[in-house]
Amino acid sequence: MDLKSLIRDIPDFPKPGIMFRDITPLLRHPEGLRHTIDTLAQTCKNRGLEADYVVGMESRGFMFGPPLAYQLGAGFIPVRKPGKLPAAVHSIEYELEYGIDRLEVHQDAFDCGCRILIVDDLIATGGTASATAKLVQQIGCELVGFAFIIELRDLGGRQKLPDVPVVTLVEY
């Protein structure tokens, strides 16, 4: 299945000069969504990415993380923006192009030593994925890999990630 045909290009969003890759057509296409999750899960299995938990970052990681976790027989853990989680959290600050942001995860989300697969819809500059990796590693978890639907290769995000397997389905 040609997943690129289900990803809409929106020029000049959110600002001039940016080509936004919109996954909403993929999400609404039953066969495309099924193919995406099945292919992502099978590719992770083929690469030996066995995880106790799939970690998805807010917000689009939440769309792909739970069904991927289900396919892999793993649990799902959300990583959120500040102030969204009700219990005690671990957090990490990271730099954006225009400032600083923070990610949080519940302190009781996983035990030290568990295996983590990080998933998101897209890797661009790699800042959020890299920060999430640092967060789970600081907690004492083993990062087994990353899974993304889309990779924007020219932005070099993969180079910011730790040296673990990276699975992507579509590249621009």
Active site residues: 60, 97
State both tokens at 168: 């992507």
CA atoms within 13 A on the CB side of 134: 15
Phi and psi angles of residue 140, each rounded to the nearest 5 degrees, phi first: 105, 20
State both tokens at 73: 């027989």
> Is the separation of the CB atoms in 26 and 6 below 8 Å?
yes
State both tokens at 18: 């940016």
Strands (E) in the chain, as ranges, are 8-11, 19-22, 53-57, 75-79, 89-96, 99-106, 115-123, 142-151, 166-171
